[in-house]
Amino acid sequence: MNGDVSSVLVTYPDERTARAISRSLIERRLAACSNIFAVASIYRWKGEIEEASEFASLLKIRSEDFPAVEEAIRKLHPYEVPCIVRYDVAEGSGDYIGWIMESTTRPPEG
């Protein structure tokens, strides 16, 4: 089980964008779930310290799908440098991990 699934943290400028990108990933079976929540961010951008209200999502994906997930997010995301960070899930309940794997199973191509 270790290494099969990951969580991906992504930040967005607003809830609408977070929902649209999350829905696209789930429709394509690149993610099983997206938890979306409001966050306050403080960061350095182009030499200045900025503060912003943003939304973030925590996606549940197959680890092997990360390159496709990242590519899909980048195509839809408005930020010049979006936060797209993958975290390995070291352990999790077997039924939950199984649900992620089943929810991200795509039909064979061809």
| pLDDT tens profile 9-41 | 999 999 999 999 999 999 999 999 999 999 999
In sequence order, what are the residues at sequence separation of 6 or more whose Cβ sits closer than 8 angstroms to the Cβ of residue 4? 62, 63, 89, 97, 101
Would you place residue 109 in the very low, low, confident or very high pLDDT band (cuts 50, 70, 90)?
confident
Total domains in the fold of the chain: 1
Residue-number span of the structural domain to which 83 is assigned: 5-44+51-103
CATH number at residue 29: 3.30.70.120
pLDDT of residue 107: 84
| pLDDT tens profile 50-108 | 999 999 999 999 999 999 999 999 999 999 999 999 999 999 999 999 999 999 998 88
pLDDT of residue 2: 61
Q: How many CA atoms lie within 13 A of 49 on its CB side?
A: 1
Amino acid 45 reads: W
Does residue 109 lie in a domain region? Answer: no
Does residue 108 lie in a domain region? Answer: no
Does residue 24 lie in a domain region? Answer: yes
